Amino acid sequence: MARAVLLLSGGLDSTTTLAVAQSRGLEIFALSIDYGQRHRFELFCAERIASAAKVARHAIVRVDLRAIGGSALTADIPVPKNRSDALIAEMIPVTYVPARNTILLGVALGFAETVEAFDIFIGANALDYSGYPDCRPAFLTEFERLANLATRAAVEGRGRFRIEAPLLSMTKAEIVREGLRLGVDYSMTLSCYDPDPTGRACGACDSCRLRQRGFEEAGVTDPTRYRLAGNVKIP
C-alpha cells in the first residue's frame, strides 16, 4: 500500500483531506504541529480524529513559533471578531502566522522522507476569504519543486514528492458535502481561532464565520459547540 503524510490540524479542512486521502487507498501517516498556537485545543481534536481514522501513525511535533510571534495566533494580539465579509476579503488578516505553512510543510517533508512516503497532503483552500498567501496554488507548486530539489530521496531517484491539496479550489460548502459523503464526523473537529478552555468555539472569528457559512450553504447543521460571542448568542 502506498504511503502518504498528511498535515492534520484537527479542523474541518484537514479532516476532510484525511478522508479524501484514505478514500484513495493510501496508508496515512498523520502529522500535527504544536507551534504554540492560541487554539491548542485543536491538537486534542487531531488526536481523536487520527485515532478514529486508524491512521498508521500520528506524530505531534513541537515547533515554538511564539518565540517569533507576529500573529494573533502566536502572540498577545486580539483575534479579530465579527468582521464583515468585505473586510475579511480585503486583506491578509492578523491571524496569518508568518511562514507557517512553509515550516509545516518542511517538517512534513522530513517526516515523509523518513517513512518513505512521496505524497504529502495539506488541507489548503485558496477560496478562503482570508486569502493567506501560503494557501495559494503558486506556493504549493513552488514548494513541491523545492521538495524534489532538496531531499536525498528525490535526488537519488527513489521517488518524486507530490504536494496534494485536494480541497484547494472547493468552497466551504463543497468541502462539507464531500466530507459528509465520505463519512466525516465533523463534531470531532474544531475550526475556531479563539476557543475557550473546554473547546467551545467563539462563533465570531473569521474561521468560525467561514465554517458556519459553509454548513449553512451546504444545508446541514454545524455540530460545533459554540459559546456566547459578544452580545450575540451563537446557536
**Looking at residue 233, what is its pLDDT?**
38
**Looking at residue 65, what is its pLDDT?**
97
Q: State the pLDDT confidence band at 85, using cuts at 50, 70 and 90.
A: confident
Inter-residue contact 113 to 79 (CB < 8 Å): no
Beta-bridge mates of residue 32 = 60
Write down all domains in the chain, each with its CATH number in brackets: 3-218 (3.40.50.620)
pLDDT, tens only, 91-123: 788 999 999 999 999 999 999 999 999 999 999
- Between 28-42, 44-58, 216-230, the lowest mean confidence (pLDDT) is in 216-230
pLDDT, tens only, 122-136: 999 987 655 789 999
Q: State the pLDDT confidence band at 211, using cuts at 50, 70 and 90.
A: very high
| DSSP code for 44 | H
Averaged confidence pLDDT in the chain: 93
Average pLDDT over residues 8-30: 98
Instruction: Provide the percentage of residues in the chain whose pLDDT is more than 90.
Output: 86
pLDDT, tens only, 174-209: 999 999 999 999 999 999 999 999 999 999 999 999
CA 49, chain centre distance (Å): 13
In angstroms, rounded to a whole number, what is the distance separating the alpha carbons of residues 235 and 54? 32
Inter-residue contact 131 to 96 (CB < 8 Å): no
**Looking at residue 4, what is its pLDDT?**
98
In angstroms, rounded to a whole number, what is the distance separating the alpha carbons of residues 228 and 5? 37
